[in-house]
Each structure stands twice: as structure tokens, then as C-alpha cells.
Structure 1
């Protein structure tokens, strides 16, 4: 029994060798699966992603090479008409950099406006637009101060004064004034102006003075006529007395 024990103890490997073998067996993957199966899965996944990326790039390049202009234009119009699109445009215009760019391009804007207004189509468009009451009122209010300044400057110009007088002397202008005076709004305005003038203290004083002078001038000829009649009556009575004495 002792010999058997010695052989069994001699045949056993040391504890350290046994632990190393166990750890090696744990690290070596088996055929059923383990770390050895993970590598093919990751390799296949990476290949699939690579193929998908290449396919997407080719599709994008084809789309850029042959864009559908009609669809893009329609899409942009739809976007600009939405509330989000309008807000985006407003925010863009409020940007300081955009404002600065617009200020720098004022000369180009002026040139474009002049070209648009001087062209035949631009004249027709402007004429049609000015016939709209709301738009015309807005433009008039915006240009009111500038028009007043321009009119005052023109009134001081001798050449403009001469031209204005020539226009007023024309039969067309005279007819226009007569038609204007016959209109009810003009008469109403004149009545209001006359009423306001009569209510003025200075005007009332001048009016009273004129009335007094008119009354005095009217009474003086009447008194003379009455005095003359009295004299004539006295002469007649004297003549009658003389005739009776004879």
C-alpha cells in the first residue's frame, strides 16, 4: 500500500502545473463557441457597414450629378411659405452681418430699382400698384416729409414759379378750378373757413368798422335829399303867399 501511495503521489503533477493547465484550458476557445466566434461576427458587421457606406455615397453622388430642379424649387417655395421659414428669414435679416452686407449693397439696390422703374414693364407695374389705395396711402405717408421739403424748395425757384403761373393761366386749369368750386366738398370747406374767419375777434372788429362806414355813407345822401326837399317846399310856400297877396 505504501508503494502504491508513492507511485500515485509521484505520478501526480505539481499543484502549480495543474493550475497552469486549467487556466490554459479556460483561455483556449472550444468549438461550440466563445471568443473564437466573436471575431467572425465583428468582421461581418464591419464589412456590412462598409458596403452600406459605399452604396450611400454612390447614391448621393448620383443625386448631386442629376438634381431634379423642379422638385427642389417646389420644396424651397413650400419651406419659405411656412411659419418656420418666415421666422428663419426674419432672424437672418436681423443678423448684424446680414445687415452690414445689405448696407454695403445699397448701390446695387439703387441700380436695380432704377432699372426696374425705367423699364416698360416696371412702369406698368408701378402704375398698377399705385392704383391700389392702401399701397398708395402707405407710400404717401412715407414720402410726406420729403415731398413737403421738395415743394418748399420748388416754390422758391423762379423758373418753377413761372411755370406754375403759366399752368394757372391755362384754360384747362381754370376749368378744373371752376369744377372744384362747384363741388359740395369744396363749398362745405369754404363755408367752414368763412365761419372760422367771422368768429375771429380781429375779423369781427374789421367787419364792424366796415359796417359803420357803410351806414354813415348811406345816411349822408339821404339827409341831403331831405334837406333839399324842405328848401323846395319853403320856396313853393313863399310863391303861393305872394300869389295870394296879389
Structure 2
């Protein structure tokens, strides 16, 4: 690299670090404003990203150029009021600005640094209008803390519900009881033979009425019972002789 190129590079580094000096405070102020966007403040941050992108492209610093360009796209949506700068979006912009500062301070090795995570997060905001999930590095740091803070819930034994048995209605005598479906089909029991009705007792014999015999005087009865002597005697008429 020639002396002239070295001077240009040094000028780029100084100018870029100057742009990044107040970018953190500016982004926090933009977040605090929320939907009430301060257009002049957003323009200031947008011009800083645009200048870094242009200088890096001129110097052949492609990694710095790509990261600054991704941040510029998101700031352009905020400037045109197409995107509300919520805490998640501003946090991704802050992480990108920190990475830009480190790349510029070590500009000689900047093209070897992997910035895929930052670029993907910024592009997701630009394309979808919202911040993506947390990066994997942050998830790994926060997951153990979440596990320790989460209290273990006591296992509660399931409450046993006792099913109330309904009383079985009495079956009339002589009919088989219904078969429970849970016990399976069983042969129906043969109906009990109905008892034969007891024979009615024969009617008591009624004796025929005894005819009343008229009472005969005692004297007449004796006359009937004893033979009359007059019947055995022969009467002789004297006149016939």
C-alpha cells in the first residue's frame, strides 16, 4: 500500500470512528421516541452508516461495507416512518454499530471476520418489518439462567373420581335381569315356571231339605199300626137268610 493510500485509509478510520462516537446515544434516543420519530436524529445516524459504507467500498473493505449497508437499510425504513423503532430493533442496530467499530479499529483483518449473524438479523428486519428471535449466542447464555430461575412445580397426583353407581330398578318376578354390557354377552337365564294356581276347594255338599212330616195324633197312629179286628170278622145280614 502506498503512502497516499495509507493516508486515505487513516482518514477513513478517523472519520468512521467519529461517526460512531455518538451513535449509541442517538439510537437510544430514537428508541425512546418510539412512533414519535425524530426525523433529523434518524437522518444523522443514517448518514453515518451511509458514509461508512461508501468509504469501505472505496477501500475494498467488503465486510465493513456489507454490515454498514444492512444497517443503512433498516435506518431508511425508520426515517420514512415505515418501521417503528422498538427495543428489539434498536438492540440489533446497537450490536451492529459495536461490530462496525471493532472492524474499523482492526481494519487490516476486517475482511476475515464473519458478520453473517448481524447481517441476517438486519436483513430480517428490513424484509419482515420486525426483529427476529434472539441470536443463538444469546440463547445459550440465557437458557441456564432461565432453568435455575424456573421453580419446579410439585407433581399433583390426579384426583380419583369415584363413579356413583345408580341403583338398579327391581325387576318384576319372572323376568330375567338385564345383562351388563361391560361384563360381556351372557346367555339369558331361562325364565322360572310360574307356579300353578292352587285348586279351589270343592263346595261343601248341601243336604236336601228334610220334608216336614205332619204330626199324627197318638191314638190314630196306634189304630193304623194295629190290625183292626172288625176287618177280620164276617158280618151276616139276617134279612138275607
TM-score (norm 2): 0.23
> Which protein has the larger Cα radius of gyration, Structure 1 or Structure 2?
2
Greater RCO (Cα-Cα under 8 Å, separation 6 or more): 2
Q: Which has the higher helix share?
A: 1
